[in-house]
Amino acid sequence: MTDISSPPTNSERPDGWWRSAVVYQIYPRSFQDSDGDGVGDIPGITRRLDYLAELGVDVLWLSPVYRSPQVDNGYDISDYQDIDPLFGTLEDLDELIAGAHERGLKLVMDLVVNHTSDQHAWFVESRDPASPKRDWYYWRSARAGHEPGTPGAEPDDSPAAFAPSAWTFDPASGQYYLGMFSPAQPDLNWETPEVRSSVYEMMRWWVGRGVDGFRMDVINLISKPAGLTSSGPVDPGSAGFMQIANGARLDEFLAEMNREVGLEKNNLITVGEMPGATVDVARRVTDPARHELNMVFTFEHVELDKQEGGSKWDLADLPLPRLKGNLAEWQYGLAEAGWNSLYFDNHDQPRAVSRFGDDSPEHRVHSAKTLATVLHLHKGTPYVYQGEEFGMTNAPLTEIGHFQDVESLNYHTLATAAGVTEVEVLRSLTRKSRDHARTPVQWDDSANAGFTDGTPWFGVNPNYVGINAEDARRDPASVFAHFQKLIRLRHELEVVREGRFELLLPDHDQLWAFTRTLEAAPAGDEDQPRALLVLANCSSTPADLPADGLPGLAGAVLVLGTHASAPEEPRLAPWESRVIQLG
């Protein structure tokens, strides 16, 4: 076991190292099973470290592996300082950390501290009104004039993200507690100083164990507005979270956490998941001068394919100008201060190639590569989600029995009860369910895609025979090979890391075009390119380069392309992309 009495020094984490890093997200339950119980586990991850090193990423982020009743697949934690037996032991995690470090990979833990599980000892204690931990959570009395525990007596009408109400009645104490996600995930009350100091102590313990940073779950919800949700109904979408997100003490809490845990002092990487955060909030929180977080996950670009004011299930088309315009807005907004995270895929989103690309056999490979090109050539820290690196697609989830996720099942129950037809509900689930991201990783074409020797907890996507990591690794023209090149470009080229971003052709509905420019050649390396042009046809039909709006391409050199075309070739094939060195 690692000696946790002597925390590692930060000598292996130079200042600002995360600005050139690529992060790979692992959803342990679906990554690799090692013991045949059908659920992915930590020894399974350790077994795949060479694969991750071969891909070339710098950091692994583990979705939660802590002890948990698994109501929300581990985002409901009952013990922050132990590992759920489903995933292994603390010793297994120590081995994973050591194995990662041996290969030069860093490891980031998911930090879920807006809420605990209702099985966490803190909450169990808090249920007693006389307990000193009563104010560690939000307890409220029934609405005036209503009998506690009766329908409609909840303190207000806020729904939870995964349940009809954000308030759950606790008969023993006669009061309600707040759970913005589900009754199994009561919200911690960060106004209580002991809550904060206990969280910081736990974080220090993990730092001592050798972790290199934290991905902070819905961290902008920790400061709730005074009066909480009494302002009225809260829609469970991110628009609704806006009403309780980004509270007045958010910056204070984040700066305090940074100081008390030594996040910056130890050169740890920090990324805050922030539903409802605007560019302005992100700039504030990630401005290095404020010592809060390195970067945040915005939700804006993954909420463009829904109807204005609706929930994620109210589907809408997404014209390309809206998507690229939104990413550009974040690039401009954080150009002078702060830092972007870059992602299309994660465990809460349908697969990018199915959602923003074209996952038909004809276009899947090129569209997966082109989406990656566009994302990885923006300025910020790119995140790769397991399977994205070889173009995993949405699964054929077409009837309610196919779904697993608490959010999807809750939506089905509520929407059908509200009169939405089964066909409509399924249409939304088939497009947007988080379950698409959670099918097991397709390692090879053997039984269960090499994920498990047992029965997988969730069905393997049947397309694994043709789409799997092993085939992709062997094929120099694969999506995997393209990701390797993109990651290498970021490591090698200063202009990819730090170049100024400018969006071109903002209204073009097929082409995503932008430049990245350094004001001066990097000191001591005058041969580095100072300007890149990225041209990407994000459509399944050919696209002609317009006569205006692009820099001249005389003398330009192709740095990386999905096709073998010359930089100035006037027509791009469907889902073709080119990274071009200018001048």
Cβ proximity to ligand GLC: between 63 and 478 the closer is 63
Cβ proximity to ligand GLC: between 221 and 535 the closer is 221
Return the residues of window 259-288 that contact ligand GLC according to CB under 6 A: 273
Tokens of 368: 């997966």
- Determine how β-strand 139-140 pairs with β-strand 106-111: unpaired
List of residues 6+ apart from 328 with CB closer than 8 A: 501, 503, 506, 514
Q: Is the dihedral of CA 398, 403, 407, 412 positive or negative?
A: positive
Decide if 329 is catalytic.
no
Cβ proximity to ligand GLC: between 111 and 579 the closer is 111
Question: How many residues belong to the site for ligand GLC (CB under 6 A)?
Answer: 9
* Contact assessment for residue 550 and residue 515, using Cβ atoms and an 8 Å cutoff: no
Decide if 502 is catalytic.
no
Tokens of 322: 């809206």
* R_g over Cα of the chain: 24
Is residue 95 a contact point for ligand GLC (CB under 6 A)? no
Cβ proximity to ligand GLC: between 72 and 359 the closer is 72
Give residue for tokens 């404020």: 290
Write down the least CB distance from residue 272 to ligand GLC, Å.
Answer: 11
Return the residues of window 186-225 that contact ligand GLC according to CB under 6 A: 217-218
Cβ proximity to ligand GLC: between 74 and 574 the closer is 74
Write down the least CB distance from residue 118 to ligand GLC, Å.
Answer: 13
Cβ proximity to ligand GLC: between 29 and 530 the closer is 29
* Contact assessment for residue 272 and residue 293, using Cβ atoms and an 8 Å cutoff: yes
Residues 162-191, mask of contacts with ligand GLC (x by CB under 6 A):
-------------------x----------
Give residue for tokens 């399944």: 540
Write down the least CB distance from residue 168 to ligand GLC, Å.
Answer: 16
Is residue 348 a contact point for ligand GLC (CB under 6 A)? yes
**β-pair partners for 66:** 83
Phi, psi of 280 (to 5 degrees): -65, -45
State which amino acid sits at residue 577. Answer: S
**Taking phi first (over 0 means left), then psi (-120 to 50 degrees means alpha), and beta for anything else, what does residue 549 get?**
left
Is residue 383 a contact point for ligand GLC (CB under 6 A)? no
Catalytic residue among 217, 359, 389, 494: 217
Is residue 292 a contact point for ligand GLC (CB under 6 A)? no
Give residue for tokens 């903002």: 506
Write down the least CB distance from residue 383 to ligand GLC, Å.
Answer: 12
List of residues 6+ apart from 515 with CB closer than 8 A: 499, 501, 502, 504, 531, 532, 533, 534, 551, 582
Give the one residue of 112, 163, 250, 538 binding ligand GLC; rule: CB under 6 A. Answer: 112
Give residue for tokens 């996720």: 405
Q: 3-class SS at 292?
A: coil
Strands (E), 243-360: 269-273, 295-297, 341-342
Write down the least CB distance from residue 28 to ligand GLC, Å.
Answer: 13
Cβ proximity to ligand GLC: between 438 and 508 the closer is 438
Residues 31-70, mask of contacts with ligand GLC (x by CB under 6 A):
----------------------------------------
Rounded to an integer, what distance in angstroms lies between the CA atom of residue 188 and that of residue 344? 29
Give the one residue of 31, 75, 138, 451 binding ligand GLC; rule: CB under 6 A. Answer: 75
Closest residue by beta carbon to ligand GLC? 75
Catalytic residue among 273, 389, 435, 576: 273
List active site positions.
217, 273
Binding site for ligand GLC (CB under 6 A): 72, 75, 112, 181, 217-218, 273, 347-348
